[in-house]
Structure 1
Amino acid sequence: MANREPVVRSLLENDLYKFTMWQALLHSHPGAQAEYAFVCRNTTAFPLALLKEEVEEELERLCSLTFAQDELDYLRSLRFMKSDFVDFLSVFRFQRRFIEVRADGDRLVIKAKGPLVHVMGFEIFVLYIVNELYFRRLPSGTEVQQVARERLRGKIAYLKEHKAALTQDAEFPFIFFDFGLRRRYSGEWHEEVVRTFAEEVPEHFRGTSNVLFAKRYGLTPIGTMAHEYLQAYQAFGFRLRDFQKAALEGWVQEYRGDLGTALTDVVGMDAFLDDFDLYFAKLFDGLRHDSGDPAEWGEKALVHYKKLRIDPRTKRLVFSDGLDIPRAAGLYRHFAGRIPTSFGIGTDLSNDTPHKALNIVMKIMSCNGQPVAKLSDTPGKTLCEDETFLAYLRQVFRHPVKSA
């Protein structure tokens, strides 16, 4: 460890939605237990099991860190962060006993199990620890940096060249955010990307999910909820058919109008809209897309708002699934003048190098001893270890099996 730079630099270097979900669940279900599992979805240049010892060293260091006073002060300055939650963070430490790392042949197995409000925070750290350790083992140097910087300059040139098209809706121009923390090439490169976009195209680049970078560069921290928040409600004692409504109501009660973007794809867009009635449609500012065809998804949202007699231009669609800037720009043009849009772009910003990016996740698998699941609108993104529960969930929400 002493011979290399540590990966984790601060407990504040986490995605904002981890803090917002953490606060909501600490207040509503402080005693919940959960299990999270790490999954790599693609082939790798070498077996990830080779990273086991280094990952363990990084986790030992993570568990020694605490929030600095200036970091706590920053969180307290965000109007949706409650004072008691920041007080909780002031004494919080990750517990090494709640996370296990082992090698299973070539596979790297990482599981976090324990109180939900302790283990949920491991996710993003584990993902960018594995990413950075992985890419440190691949060829680096000036050639990789040169290619990455050329691609970054190309993105900025595209934004400047297409400025007219990206301000097609004068009231709501094209805006995007950095969502690249979990799958970044390295902390140093991620910071350079964020800083460069903030300096070069501030009219389009409006924030980052990385709370440390938001603090450091005076950017807006971006994020509301992720799948794990809604999935946990599958195990909180509500009728399964009602878990989405219970989760959305819990969010409304916690944030009272702040952080009003709802995630739609835990059991598919159609099932979500069945639950997203006039009450929720008026209370939430908009919707976030994370699987399935984005244009089709957006058209369904427009039809739904119009059916409820809500002016779509008073709401917003946020897209965040596998985007690059040209694809996001195409979606902006598709919906311009009909509904405001914004775009969370991850891997293509923070890990666009000559090396193939890892497709890794760390997802909640069970809560309170019961399986939980996501039924994705994208084939291959559904994740559940219990086929019986998955089949039951499909039946309850009439969700079709989608082949890859």
Structure 2
Amino acid sequence: MIITSLLDTDLYKFTMMQVVLHHFPAAQAEYAFRCRTPDIDLVPYIEEIEEEIRSLCALRFTEDELDYLRSWRFIKPDFIDFLGLFHMNEKHVQVRPSNKGNGEIEIRIEGPWLHTILFEVPLLAIVNEVYFRNTQTAPDYPEGRARLADKIQMLGARPEYSDCKIADYGTRRRFSKRWHEEVIVMLKESLGEQFAGTSNVFYAYKHGLTPLGTMAHEYLQACQALGPRLRDSQIFGFEMWAKEYRGDLGIALSDVYGMKAFLGDFDMYFCKLFDGARHDSGDPFEWGERLIKHYENNRCDPRTKVMVFSDALDIPKVLQLYERFRGRTKLAFGVGTNLTNDLGYTPLQVVIKMVRCNGQPVAKLSDSPGKNMCDDKAYLAYLRQVFEIEQPAQ
């Protein structure tokens, strides 16, 4: 059994889920799976994946887990009461071979947003672990430990790096649950205060770490269908977030429509209201420079704001970004696959994205076109027109 606790997911799933409970309890959602890594045959593992999904759907939150969630300042009592009754239902998930006949599989998740939102992260962890335990039956853990030790050494190589902190963001694409926990323990023991925490709620709970995260793309995508009009959907999403959390969890996601559209909506009010923003696509150096200039133009001292970098980071890139922006802003770095799936094998680039909300197509148009995922070309064209986003060069 791969997933043994419903806490074994990313924090932002719970923070978004609370918003859904309080503001969008009737919303319907549809998600789709994609493996971006070419020539991967997942069809032989469908039965195993389905068996793990059945085990996942048998789980319930324990009283100790609910008490842990209750201890967070921003979690409200009625949400805890709801989680006490909550379980995942396998009727919302379908796994089947792709019609392409090339080894790809289709995973579709459909149902009430409130009851499907927690599927994404554990399902991706399941697909990864099922694949790797079948293809790497004798994992090279010594190689993984050596690589991790090199990363830890890089972070501590120079005294001026002492306040460069990283966090684990690697649940979705981890090699295995066992390796994920070993990485977290080694980071905690070796880095001390340089290890800021983890996005994984279960390991934060188990190892006394800080759980980290705010919102994900699906939240702002869903607002395309739930807000008053499409052009104001990003503004609507930020306002509803602030209404729910009243100053907590103040990191805004910047790349659902690209940086230009984000800065157009992220006016002086939001600059002052939110603690900072998260980068997840496009050139991170250019993003950081544009955001600092935007804060200055809106009479905000960028040194009081947080820039969170989380897009395909490795430790050398973390240090390059740290050297560029230290002293100019507060910095946070979320490192995912490079920490939790670096044993010498090619990681799977797997994603599950919301593709419809209330029957309407939803999408993101990030600054990395390869990350876009929508099967409705007419809607994508309309979205580009509404947000004045140029068609990327072919």
TM bucket by the smaller chain? over 0.9
Counterparts of 1:1-400 in structure 2 under 5 Å? 6-44=1-39, 46-104=40-98, 105=101, 106-141=103-138, 144-162=140-158, 164-167=159-162, 173-400=163-390
Cα deviation 1:341-372 (Å, max 9, x = unaligned): 11000000000011100000000000001000
Retained in 1: the 8 A contact 2:30–2:110? yes
In structure 2, distance between residues paired with 1:355 and 1:237 = 43
SS across alignment from 1:202? helix
In structure 1, distance between residues paired with 2:264 and 2:84 = 40
The one-letter code sitting in structure 2 at the alignment partner of 1:36 is Y
In structure 1, distance between residues paired with 2:116 and 2:137 = 33
What's the TM-score, normalizing by structure 1? 0.95
The one-letter code sitting in structure 1 at the alignment partner of 2:49 is V
In structure 2, distance between residues paired with 1:379 and 1:98 = 29
Retained in 1: the 8 A contact 2:97–2:104? yes
Retained in 1: the 8 A contact 2:257–2:364? yes
**Offset at residue 160 of structure 1 (A):** 1.8
In structure 2, distance between residues paired with 1:336 and 1:224 = 23
In structure 2, distance between residues paired with 1:323 and 1:61 = 32
Cα deviation 1:100-130 (Å, max 9, x = unaligned): 1111222211100010111111000110000
**Offset at residue 379 of structure 1 (A):** 2.5
In structure 2, the CA distance between the partners of 1:403 and 1:149, relative to structure 1 (3 Å rule), is farther
Q: Which runs of 4+ in 1 moved over 6 A?
A: none
SS across alignment from 2:192? coil
In structure 2, distance between residues paired with 1:21 and 1:234 = 15
The one-letter code sitting in structure 1 at the alignment partner of 2:157 is E
Retained in 1: the 8 A contact 2:169–2:199? yes
SS across alignment from 1:213? helix
In structure 2, distance between residues paired with 1:101 and 1:42 = 18
The one-letter code sitting in structure 2 at the alignment partner of 1:21 is M
**Offset at residue 140 of structure 1 (A):** 3.8
> Gapped runs of 5+ residues in structure 1?
1-5, 168-172
Retained in 2: the 8 A contact 1:165–1:333? no
In structure 2, distance between residues paired with 1:370 and 1:95 = 23
Retained in 2: the 8 A contact 1:132–1:186? yes
In structure 2, the CA distance between the partners of 1:317 and 1:237, relative to structure 1 (3 Å rule), is closer
Q: How many residue pairs align between the two structures? A: 391
SS across alignment from 1:291? coil
**Offset at residue 237 of structure 1 (A):** 4.2
Retained in 1: the 8 A contact 2:363–2:380? yes
**Offset at residue 241 of structure 1 (A):** 0.5
Cα deviation 1:208-235 (Å, max 9, x = unaligned): 0000000111100000000000000000
In structure 1, distance between residues paired with 2:359 and 2:124 = 24
In structure 2, distance between residues paired with 1:306 and 1:82 = 35
SS across alignment from 1:161? coil
What's the TM-score, normalizing by structure 2? 0.98
In structure 1, distance between residues paired with 2:69 and 2:59 = 17
Cα deviation 1:296-337 (Å, max 9, x = unaligned): 000110010000111111101000000011111110110011
> Gapped runs of 5+ residues in structure 2?
none
For the aligned residue pairs, the C-alpha RMSD in angstroms reads 1.0
Q: Which residue of 2 aligns with 1:170?
A: none
Retained in 1: the 8 A contact 2:169–2:336? yes
